[in-house]
Amino acid sequence: MNVYRYVAVGDSFTEGVGDPGPDGTYVGWADRFAEMLGARHESVSYANLAVRGLTTRQVLDTQLAPAVALRPNLVSAVVGMNDLIHPKLDIRAQVANLDTLIGGLAATGAQVVTATLPTPAQGTPLPTPLRRELVKRLGLWNAFTRRTAAVHNALCLDLAVMMPPGIGGWSEDRLHPGPDGHRAAAEACLGLLDGVPPRRLAVTEIAGAEPGRPSLADQYRWARQFLVPWVKRRLRRESGSAGIVAKLPGYRSVL
C-alpha cells in the first residue's frame, strides 16, 4: 500500500504525553510512526483524535464516530490504563467497550492496530498491595486485548513484552513512556506492519535506563510533583482531559 489515511485514537499515550517537542507540545509515538510511514510511502495523511485522561468508554463515545467519518485505511487504538488505575474497575464492562471500539473500527475495512499495556516504571513508589493489584489487572487486560485483536483481525503491538520496566524508558511521571519509549513503540509499530513481531528492548537501547531504584529524595520529588496533584484531582473528581481537545482532528499530509 502506497497511500495511507492513518487515524490515531486513544488517551494520553497516543496524545504523546511524556514526549515533549522543542516547543513544549507533545509529539508521541503516533506522530513518530506517521512520520516513519511518510518516509516510506508516497502519500500519508494523518489525524490524531487522542485526548489524555479518557477511559475506554469515553474514547468509544467521543472518538469512534469521528474516526469512522475520516474514512481511514489504517487506525491505531490504544486504551485502558485510565480504567485500570480506577479503584472501582468493572473489567467486563471495559472489555466489552474495547471490543465495540475495535470492532467498530475494523468494520470500516481499515487495518486496525491495538496494543497491550506495559507495567509502569519499577521506581513508581506504589505500596506493594496496590502494585500487585495493578499488575494483576494489566495481565487480565492484556490477555483480553490480544484476544480482541485476534477476533477482529487487528494487529496487536505487544508493548507489555517489549517495554522495559527501568525508569530510563519512562518519562519523569513514571506512568508514560519518555521520548525513547515513544520512539521504540513507533518503530515497533512500523515493523508490525511488515510482519515483524516486537522484541523486548535491551536496557542499553534506552538512554539512562540504568538498573536500581531511585533515591528517597527522588521519590519525594516525584510524589510532590506528580502523585499529590493527581490525588487532588481525583478527590475533586476532576478529569485530566478537562479543557483538552484533540491535537489533530483532521488530516494533515505527512511529507
Q: What is the mean pLDDT of each run of 10 residues along the chain (255 residues)?
A: 93 92 92 96 96 96 98 98 89 97 98 92 63 89 98 96 65 76 92 82 48 58 58 59 85 92
Number of domains in the chain: 1
Q: Which domain holds residue 84?
A: 3-254
The residues that bridge with 90 in the sheet, in sequence order, are none
Please name the residue that has the C-alpha cell 510532590.
224
Q: How far is CA 168 from the centre of its chain?
A: 17
Question: Which of the 8 DSSP states describes residue 108?
Answer: T
Q: Which of 63, 109, 78, 56 is nearest to 186 (CA)?
A: 78
Question: Residue 56: which CATH number?
Answer: 3.40.50.1110
Q: How does strand 43-48 pair with strand 111-115?
A: unpaired
What was the pLDDT predicted at 231? 58
Euclidean distance between CA atoms 102 and 107, whole angstroms:
9
Q: Look up residue 144 and give its amino acid.
A: F
Q: Do the beta carbons of residue 50 and residue 11 sit within 8 Å?
A: yes
Three-class SS state of 221: helix
Please name the residue that has the C-alpha cell 475520516.
70
Instruction: Name the grid cell of 207.
Output: 538512554
Euclidean distance between CA atoms 119 and 159, whole angstroms:
9
Q: Do the beta carbons of residue 180 and residue 169 sit within 8 Å?
A: yes
The model's pTM is: 0.86
What was the pLDDT predicted at 208? 45
What was the pLDDT predicted at 210? 45
